[in-house]
Structure formats: C-alpha cells, structure tokens
Chain A
Amino acid sequence: MDNNKDCSMYTEHVESGKRKVTLSLTVNGQFVVRDIDPNMTLLHFLRDNLKLFGTKEACGEGECGACTIIMNGKAVTSCIILAVEAEGAEITTVEGLAMDGKLSILQEEFISQDALQCGFCTPGFLMSTRALLDHNPNPSDEEIIEVLSGNLCRCTGYHPIMQAVKRAADREQKELGR
C-alpha cells in the first residue's frame, strides 16, 4: 500500500478529553501538519481544517463521487477515507488544478463544452478525469466511461462531460506533449 508511514508511533495526547493524532501530508504541493481526531474523514479534514471547499460532500458513502480527490495518483472518494489513513500521502484536490491563476486545459474544456450546470459534481468529475489522463493521456470512450462511472451528475447529462474529457485529452497531447 501507498501510505506506510509509521502511524503506530503517533504521539497520542489528550486534549480537552479527545484523543488527537498528528497528521502530516502533502496537499496540492504544500506540506501540512495538523493535530486531528482519528474519526475525522479525509473529506472533512480538507474542507474544515484546510478550508479547501472545492471538494464536495453529497452522499457521504462513496456512491456519488462528488468528493473525489487524487491520493497518491489514484482517484478515491475522500468521504469514506479517514484523514489518518492519508498520513504521508500526496493529495491533489480541485484547487490544485489551476496554475498561477490560470485554469487548466481540463477546466477550460468543461467550460467550453457546457459540461456543468449546478457544478456540484464538477470537482469530482475533474479529479477522476485528471487521474485518468495522468495515467492514460489518450483514453478510449470505454475507458473514460469506466473511470467516470463512479461520478454522478444529475443535471447536465454525461454527453457534454464526455466531449470535454476527449477535447481536453486532445489538447493536452498537442499543447503539453503528453
């Protein structure tokens, strides 16, 4: 497994009646250390502690994909992962996609294709797609469908999302030489 840092060596200490653990990880390229409750989910850690509100909570049970982030290169649903499990992990959230105030190609194509309406599912779709294109710059339709099957959108429909992903893959190959 990927996060094999020694968690048994955590310095557990009592703080206002709670057993806290120290968590250190890298989020969007920044090294972060926080004392947290062991029962906190990774999703709530990102939102409540780091104030990264791009990652959404909808079903809270790993079914809808709204909370998808990239953890050690893999798309995962952060609502059903404990924050402590991310010890030593490299995490990318939707906030990590834009660079220097400029949207990424992937984000631009979601806009150009109208691949969102309410936008609540969008960060999850973006992160699932990002993980896919990082491993497979030129995916087939079937591969895109398979990887996005864990992300639910209730307003746009999936056709514009497919178009956005395919256009982003094309552009990334041309413009970034992937």
Chain B
Amino acid sequence: MISRFAYFKPHNLNEAVQYLEKEEKSYVLAGGTDLMILLRRNLINAEHILDIKGLPETAEFNFVEGAGLTIGASVVVNQVVDSEVVKAKYPALNQAAASLASYQLRNRATVVGNICNASPGADLPPALLVYDAVVNIAGPQGMRQVPLHEFFTGVKRTVLQRGELVVSVHLPEPGEGDKSIYIRQARLRGHDLATVGVASRIKPDGKVAIGICAVAPTPKRLFALEDQINARELSQETIEWAAKEIREHIRPITDVRSSAQYRLQMASVLLKRGLLTLIGKEA
C-alpha cells in the first residue's frame, strides 16, 4: 500500500500554483508512470498530490503554421505518436515517442512528464532539444520560458522552483526541407530504457543539431560539436570525423545497462548512422 496523501485536482492554474507553493510535500501528477513507481517504492514522502489533468492549459496540443507545436503537460505520448503533423514536421520526435516504454504506458505517460522526471536516459529530450524546445513554466511570479537545454540541472533535477509547474513545451516550426532522426540502442527489441539515444537534425540551411541521452547526468544538446561540424562541409568525411569526435563531448558512466566504453562506441555509431541516413547515404 502506498503512503497516505491528499489528492487535489484544480481547474485553474492559479489554484494549482498556490497549492504547490503552500504545501511543501506536494508532487505533480500527470500520467503517473514515474510518480506512481516512486510512491510504491516509498522513495518519496508525498503528503499532497496535485493532479494537473484538469487544467485546460495542459490539454493543448496544437500546431500553428509559422509558430510551431505546443504540447501541453497532460498530452500523452501516444497522442504525439499518432499525430500526422508530428510525423511530417518533427520526425525525430515521432520516432522517440514511438520508442518510449510500452504501448499501454504511452497511453498514460506524458511528453512533459518525460522532461520533468529529468532522467538522464529519457528518450524524448534528445528529439525535443534538436528542435530548440522551450519549456513554459507557471509559478507564483507568473509565466516564464526556459530553453530545454537549460532546464536540466542534474540527475532527476531541473530548474523548477517551489510552486512552479510546467504547463507545456513549445517547438518552433522547422523550415521546408528540414530533416531529423532519432535512433536508440537498447538491450532488447521490446521495451527497455535506452542505452544511448541520439537525435540528429539537419536544418534547411544545412546546419546540424545533435541531442543525446544516457551519456551524461542530463540529456544534452551537443552545441560545441555542432559548431565544429557546421564549420565544415557536411560530407561523409565530416560525419565520420564527427562520429569519432563525439567521444570528447560526452561522459557516460558504467551501469546495469551498459559499460561506459560501450556507450562511447554506440554514441559514435548512432550519430554516424543518423547523419548518413539524413544525407541519403547508407549507414
């Protein structure tokens, strides 16, 4: 039996923020696929559970031509998997979403929850990062926007302060001819956490963006590596060079899923495979 708590499902954002600010041991519930495990294992001492699924702002799942895609905090992963707009405009996000956990869990797990849980191995952040995702946060001082690459501060840690709550994540619209791909390595074909996951994107102007998970304390956007690649012509040689160079930009650890050595090797392979696929060369 999980510990006792009070349950609150507000329908107004201000009410939600006030509640989170007032009650110290309060936790946000969206899909619950991470929170319920923590509760069950008694890893957290929750006295208050705030269910955000009643907040209208969190249900938003909307693509606006010229503005981009907004994914509310109650939008579940399978909504993203099934979305034709996401398939067409944000393929790496579609692929990352489809690779997350199992079908039933994707019916509950939310995109924003995958961010807020801040697991180093989360599948969605690499894809969201390459699209320059921005996190919309509501708090006692009103709304603020944080770029996703500044959102994670450590393993299971984010910039969220007491009383704050993520309302949605926003992805600018990619231009015509934008290409992206997410490739993950796992121990088995069924559902498993990623050993390494790499999102690669080539923008219409030819510039590359790279997001990666499970090789550092947080999911990362590899800006320094991108600059080095973008200073060269994006050829097969550049990609092969980048696949070696990526080892200098990540610091994986050895754990139950993989050795650090294997992660370095896989990061290299997945980046090469991704970029070669995007430029139309067999990997």
Interface size class of A (residues with CB under 8 A): 35 or more
Q: Is B32 part of the binding interface, using a Cβ–Cβ cutoff of 8 Å? A: yes
Interface size class of B (residues with CB under 8 A): 35 or more
Contact with A along B23-35 (1 / 0, CB 8 A): 0000001001100
Q: Is A170 part of the binding interface, using a Cβ–Cβ cutoff of 8 Å? A: no
Give chain B residues whose Cβ lies under 8 Å from the Cβ of A155. none
Is the beta-carbon distance between A85 and B51 smaller than 8 angstroms? yes
Is the beta-carbon distance between B15 and A62 smaller than 8 angstroms? no
- Whether A77 touches B104, Cβ cut-off 8 Å, given contacts A3-B53, A8-B54, A85-B53, is yes
Give chain A residues whose Cβ lies under 8 Å from the Cβ of B104. 62, 65, 68, 75-77, 128, 150-151
Give chain A residues whose Cβ lies under 8 Å from the Cβ of B37. 61-62, 80
Q: Is A52 part of the binding interface, using a Cβ–Cβ cutoff of 8 Å? A: no
Give chain B residues whose Cβ lies under 8 Å from the Cβ of A3. 53
Is the beta-carbon distance between B53 and A4 smaller than 8 angstroms? yes
Contact of A149 among B10, B33, B59, B103 (CB under 8 A): B103
Given contacts A8-B8, A81-B108, 14 further A-B contacts (CB under 8 A): A8-B9, A18-B4, A39-B1, A39-B2, A61-B40, A62-B36, A62-B37, A62-B104, A62-B105, A68-B104, A82-B7, A82-B32, A84-B9, A85-B32
Minimum-distance CB pairs A-B, first 5: A150-B102, A7-B9, A38-B7, A80-B36, A150-B104
Question: Mind listing 8 A-B residue pairs with CB under 8 Å?
Answer: A1-B59, A21-B7, A39-B3, A39-B39, A75-B103, A81-B108, A147-B103, A149-B103
